Every structure is written in structure tokens, then in C-alpha cells.
């Protein structure tokens, strides 16, 4: 099974991203856009794991989430990995308050303690919007223009979810294996 930990995108931020995706899908950009149903902020990707590891992963996620309250988050512009000059993954940024960074760090350290390598790159919270098709490029000004289509919607993250990702011909589908409430 393929597992990752994330925060569902809800409320005004979800509506804003879905509206943005609607506009982006009307462009002729060579991009595979994500499904609206799966909008989330990934915090820790475990990858393919055997079912026997599920219990220890759930325990690490529970431990990381202990004492974490609801998080006030805000959309924060568009960007791309590895860079806007050579975009492969297009994303909407999320402003990272200290509580989110602490939760990310706990998940990284908890994952490392049970045998999963840390990310190794600086934490850049984001919601993936799409992936540029292999062999294609986007002009940097296109992403800059699309950035003006996104408003800085806010939302309160009240849930931490261990997702299972099932790859299908229509794109990945996500199901919750564990869902923790982040109390207000």
C-alpha cells in the first residue's frame, strides 16, 4: 500500500483552488491536472509499505499529532518544482505558521525513527495542482499570470489524515486509513 500523511483542504480555500483549477483546465497547457476530490497538503510521504508496517506508521502519526491544535492556514501564491523556470509540478503555496512547521518536523522525526528517510529538502507546504507532461515545458510568464487568478483564501485545518493512495487510470484516489482531529 502507498501511504502519506496530509491535511485536507477545506472551506474557502478548497473552493478557491477548485475555481483556479477550472480556469487552468481551460488553458492549453500540457499538464495533467489533479482531481478536485483529492486536494490536500502532504506532510509526510511514506511510499509503498507492506501492510505489516501500518500499525507502527499509525502510531507515529498519532504521536506526531498529539497536542497539535487546529491550524490557521492561508493560500500563498503559485509556484513550481523544481523551479518556475523549469516547472514539472505546479502548486498553490500554503503559508507555514510555526504550528504547521512543528507538526511537519514531528512527522519527519517520527518517520525516521521507524525507518523512513527524512525528506531532505526545505519544507515548502503546498497543494499540488498538476504535473507538466513529460517532454513539455511551460513559459514562466504563464505561471506568473495564473498566480493572479488565486486569492489568499484562509482555512482552519482540523484534521490530520493518513491516506492510502491507489493509482488508477484516472489518476490517484485517496482513502483515509487514519483520521485524527486537531482540536480548536
Catalytic residue among 34, 64, 126, 157: 126
Q: Judge residue 71's burial from the number of C-beta atoms within 10 Å of its C-beta, 0-12 exposed, 13-18 middle, 19 or more buried.
A: buried
126 assigned to active site: yes
**Cα–Cα dist 90/84, whole Å:** 9
126-132, strands of its sheet edge to edge: 31-33, 126-132, 87-94, 71-82, 154-157
Contact call for residues 58 and 117 (beta carbons, < 8 A): no
Catalytic residue among 40, 61, 64, 96: 40
Q: How many residues does the chain have?
A: 184
* Number of other CB atoms surrounding residue 130 within 10 Å: 19
Q: Cα dihedral sign for 25, 81, 128, 99?
A: negative
Residue spans of alpha helices (H) in the chain: 11-25, 54-65, 98-113, 140-147
Residue spans of alpha helices (H) in 26-116: 54-65, 98-113
- Just list the catalytic residues: 40, 126
Amino acid at each position: 500500500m502507498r501511504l502519506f500523511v496530509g491535511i485536507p483542504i477545506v472551506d474557502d480555500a478548497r473552493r478557491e483552488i477548485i475555481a483556479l483549477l477550472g480556469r487552468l483546465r481551460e488553458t492549453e497547457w500540457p499538464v495533467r491536472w489533479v482531481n478536485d476530490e483529492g486536494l490536500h497538503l502532504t506532510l509526510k510521504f511514506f511510499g509503498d509499505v507492506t501492510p505489516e508496517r501500518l500499525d507502527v506508521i499509525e502510531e507515529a502519526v498519532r504521536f506526531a499529532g498529539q497536542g497539535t491544535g487546529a491550524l490557521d492556514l492561508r493560500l500563498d501564491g503559485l509556484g513550481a518544482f523544481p523551479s518556475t523556470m523549469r516547472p514539472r509540478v505546479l502548486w498553490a503555496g500554503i503559508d507555514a505558521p510555526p504550528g504547521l512547521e512543528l507538526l511537519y518536523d514531528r512527522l519527519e522525526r517520527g518517520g525516521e525513527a521507524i525507518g523512513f528517510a527524512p525528506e531532505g529538502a526545505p519544507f515548502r507546504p503546498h497543494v499540488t495542482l498538476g504535473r507538466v507532461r513529460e517532454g513539455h515545458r511551460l513559459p514562466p510568464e504563464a505561471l506568473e499570470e495564473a498566480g493572479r487568478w488565486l486569492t489568499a483564501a484562509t482555512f482552519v485545518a482540523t484534521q490530520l489524515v493518513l491516506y492510502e493512495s491507489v493509482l488508477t487510470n484516472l489518476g490517484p484516489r485517496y482513502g483515509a486509513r487514519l483520521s485524527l482531529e486537531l482540536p480548536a
